Amino acid sequence: MKIKELGERKLVNAFLSSLKLPDGVFPLFDDTQAFTLGNQLISFKIDTFVFSTDRPKALAAYDVGWKAITAVASDMAAKGASPYLFMCSLSLPGDMEEEDAISLENGMNDAASEYGGHLIGGDTGEAQDGVVAISGIGLHPDNIYTPRTARVKIENGDIVAVTGNFGYTSLGLNYMLGKIHLDDPILSKALEAFRKPKARVKSGLALSNLGAKSSMDSSDGLALTLSELSRLNGLDVEIKEMPIDDDLKNFFETNYIDPTSYVFYGGEEYELVGIFPAAAEPKLSEFGFRAIGFTNKGTGIIKYKDTVIGNKGYEHFK
Amino acid sequence: MKIKELGERKLVNAFLSSLKLPDGVFPLFDDTQAFTLGNQLISFKIDTFVFSTDRPKALAAYDVGWKAITAVASDMAAKGASPYLFMCSLSLPGDMEEEDAISLENGMNDAASEYGGHLIGGDTGEAQDGVVAISGIGLHPDNIYTPRTARVKIENGDIVAVTGNFGYTSLGLNYMLGKIHLDDPILSKALEAFRKPKARVKSGLALSNLGAKSSMDSSDGLALTLSELSRLNGLDVEIKEMPIDDDLKNFFETNYIDPTSYVFYGGEEYELVGIFPAAAEPKLSEFGFRAIGFTNKGTGIIKYKDTVIGNKGYEHFK
């Protein structure tokens, strides 16, 4: 079977299943892999941005660099790590202008600084597609890794909380692809969300103090992220409140748009989705989290009011 | 100016010049970047294999995986580090067969094991070119980094020594491209050298004990490597003996071929080139090194007998 018929998730899972982690390196299916050196727990990660599948033509080279670093920083944040060092592999199309390559590099450098890290080296060459691979090393200040599969048993009534707003990124993407018309303030917010997402490093560093039992980066979309956490932990999740702001709520209402597909199936939000003990609720907002629902023992069913939210989301090629 | 007009080396140098290393991370223009965590000196590296520029059609997917890991392991070896963990970013053409993708992964896993390391994770997706980016973390067992710019002053008469044989890889590449005819034993050796080069991890780990002042991986070709070491350290190098074995010597003589271009300008050898104090000579062979010449204070001129070896070698796109 050809790769394009397989789909990205099957390809990644087949690859990860072929690996054997040495003693002290864990976990295989998570946002980062971690290991200890001396007394320091370290997260190690690589992630890839491909022009032909990830870049709308209207997305500036600077934004490509920003997003590529943000994707890695977000995975680190979701595990409770602080981004430290980044390396990049830049394979760029031969007809790309030098000034665009420099913009891309500036985007990477600025994003690395934004997250308290540093881009310290890399490799640059030409390819028939643009491929930006970012590798990162993050440090866990308290040596705690917040995994997808809960590190503390999840109870009925634990809180599901997220950072930020969902829905803007897929509006921004659809606008850039010329599929929808938008006006301010939605337009500005949607473009900002898609072009310059922010990894939630500060929220991530608060996960262990908040007693987070489980956490995951939402870059594949809120529905897929919730489904994955539910499946791994034997849960159902009941969503009480959609994570959107008032502007977006008004926009959906005014235009008679069902927000579900934008909010749950959008992707590229780079927000954190965590499961917390009920006792953490009063402190969540201080660290950028908002409760959106709660857990029950179950079989991976995600419900918003009476709607079952399917296990689907953003995936390349399928 | 478009990237294809710039050339790879200018592109890499422009990129590296844009970086600012934080305290404790060094050096910028070297085979790896290094930093200390706790009491452990660590090398961090990323390197890229691009199908459209690095893969002759006859090169099997398994070999692509092997070579991609080897390139990173070799850079670590050249600095005196032991490869520990690898992550890969696999961007593969959609029409690649699943079994070829699995072969590629097997090649990566086998090479990582060969070097005492482990492939522990990564990212897989589709692109219009095949791009394999490998990131690696290596540990310096004695906390010594052997840099390109000598860590101990180089004297007149210091020894230039290399591991392995040069010349076979470019013969292998030219054979695979259908440009030359070869018979055994040269054919087998040339194909093995190009398909399954071996990073010299054991030799690299001996660098500090041998008192190596400077070292570099030879993957851009012997001439470029010697020129870079000479330029950085204010040296001329006089080559007394070409690093080839008897079979290759006979082959060049029998066929009236000037070995210079194959030996000095070939590239992809993944051998180590080091500068050692004269006192190290008796111990070099025990660790896989062979003296090929010596240093004089100078301006970067490389001479083999009466021939000046130019500062040129393998470079993509120019």
Report helix, strand or coil for A263: helix
- At B224, list the tokens: 């470029």
Predicted confidence (pLDDT) at residue A310 exceeds the cutoff of 90: no
Q: Are strands B118-127 and B82-93 parallel, antiparallel or unpaired?
A: parallel
All residues at 6 or more sequence positions from A5 whose CB lies less than 8 Å from its CB, including other chains = none
Alpha-carbon Rg for chain A, nearest whole angstrom, is 19
* Per-residue pLDDT, A267: 85
Question: Quick check: B19 contacting A, CB < 8 Å?
Answer: yes
All residues at 6 or more sequence positions from A103 whose CB lies less than 8 Å from its CB, including other chains = A60, A61, A62, A65
Segment B52-58 mean pLDDT: 93
* Per-residue pLDDT, B314: 55
Q: How many beta carbons lie within 10 A of that of residue B292, not counting itself?
A: 21
Gap between the Cα atoms of A227 and A20, Å rounded: 26
pLDDT in tens, A253-278: 999 999 998 999 988 899 999 999 99
Domains of chain B, by residue range, sit at: 3-139, 159-309
Domain A159-309 homologous superfamily, CATH:
PurM-like C-terminal domain (3.90.650.10)
What's the gap in Å between the CA of A84 and the closest CA on chain B?
10
> Residue A122's Cα: distance from chain center in Å?
23
Number of H helices, E strands in chain B: 12, 12
Residues in chain A: 318
Gap between the Cα atoms of B116 and B113, Å rounded: 5
Question: Quick check: A116 contacting B, CB < 8 Å?
Answer: no
Instruction: Collect all residues of chain A within an 8 Å Cβ-Cβ radius of residue B133.
Output: 46, 48, 89, 91, 123, 131, 133, 135
Quick one: which of A239, A236, A240, A238 has its CA closest to A297? A236
Predicted confidence (pLDDT) at residue A92 exceeds the cutoff of 50: yes
Instruction: Collect all residues of chain B within an 8 Å Cβ-Cβ radius of residue A135.
Output: 44, 46, 87, 89, 133, 135
* Per-residue pLDDT, A316: 44
Question: Quick check: A226 contacting B, CB < 8 Å?
Answer: no
- At B240, list the tokens: 């007394």
Segment B286-302 mean pLDDT: 96
Cβ of A1 within 8 Å of Cβ of B96? The answer is no
Quick one: which of A13, A39, A11, A14 has its CA closest to A24? A39
Cβ of A37 within 8 Å of Cβ of B35? The answer is no
Instruction: Collect all residues of chain A within an 8 Å Cβ-Cβ radius of residue B22.
Output: 118, 120
Q: Are strands A302-304 and A235-239 parallel, antiparallel or unpaired?
A: parallel
* Per-residue pLDDT, A313: 66
Taking only residues 33 to 52 of chain B, the set having a beta carbon closer than 8 angstroms to any beta carbon of chain A reads 33, 35, 37-40, 42, 44-48, 50, 52
Quick one: which of A49, A4, A54, A8 has its CA closest to B96? A4
Gap between the Cα atoms of B13 and B101, Å rounded: 32
Question: Quick check: A4 contacting B, CB < 8 Å?
Answer: yes
Taking only residues 85 to 104 of chain A, the set having a beta carbon closer than 8 angstroms to any beta carbon of chain B reads 85, 87-98, 101-102
pLDDT in tens, B75-86: 999 999 999 999
Segment A199-221 mean pLDDT: 97
- At A304, list the tokens: 């918003």
Backbone region of residue B176 per phi and psi (left: phi > 0; alpha: psi in -120 to 50; beta: other values): alpha
CATH number of B3-139: 3.30.1330.10
Quick one: which of A277, A272, A249 has its CA closest to A262? A249
Instruction: Collect all residues of chain A within an 8 Å Cβ-Cβ radius of residue B118.
Output: 20-22, 25
Tell whether the torsion through CA atoms of A193, A198, A203 and A208 is positive or negative: positive
The full DSSP string for A15-81 is: HHHT--PPTT-B-SSSSSEEEEETTEEEEEEEEEEEHHHH--TTS-HHHHHHHHHHHHHHHHHHHTP
User: Nearest residue on chain A to B39, judged by CA atoms?
Assistant: A38
Question: Quick check: A113 contacting B, CB < 8 Å?
Answer: no
- Provide φ and ψ at A86, rounded to 5°: -125, 145
Question: Quick check: A133 contacting B, CB < 8 Å?
Answer: yes
Instruction: Collect all residues of chain B within an 8 Å Cβ-Cβ radius of residue A95.
Output: 2-4
User: Nearest residue on chain A to B107, judged by CA atoms?
Assistant: A18
Predicted confidence (pLDDT) at residue B301 exceeds the cutoff of 80: yes
pLDDT in tens, A21-66: 999 999 999 999 999 998 999 999 999 999 999 999 999 999 999 9
Q: Which residue has the higher pLDDT, B268 or A277?
A: A277
Report how many Cβ contacts below 8 Å link chain A to chain B: 253
pLDDT classification of B316: cutoffs 50, 70, 90: very low
- At B255, list the tokens: 């066929």
Cβ of B126 within 8 Å of Cβ of A2? The answer is no
Question: Quick check: B159 contacting A, CB < 8 Å?
Answer: no
Cβ of A126 within 8 Å of Cβ of B22? The answer is no
Is the ipTM here above 0.85?
A: yes
Distances (CA, A) of B248 to B184, B220, B283: 11, 20, 25
> Residue B204's Cα: distance from chain center in Å?
12
Cβ of A15 within 8 Å of Cβ of B126? The answer is no
Which letter, b or e, does each residue of A137-154 get, where b requires 16 or more Cβ atoms within 10 Å of its Cβ?
bbbbeeebbbbbebeeeb
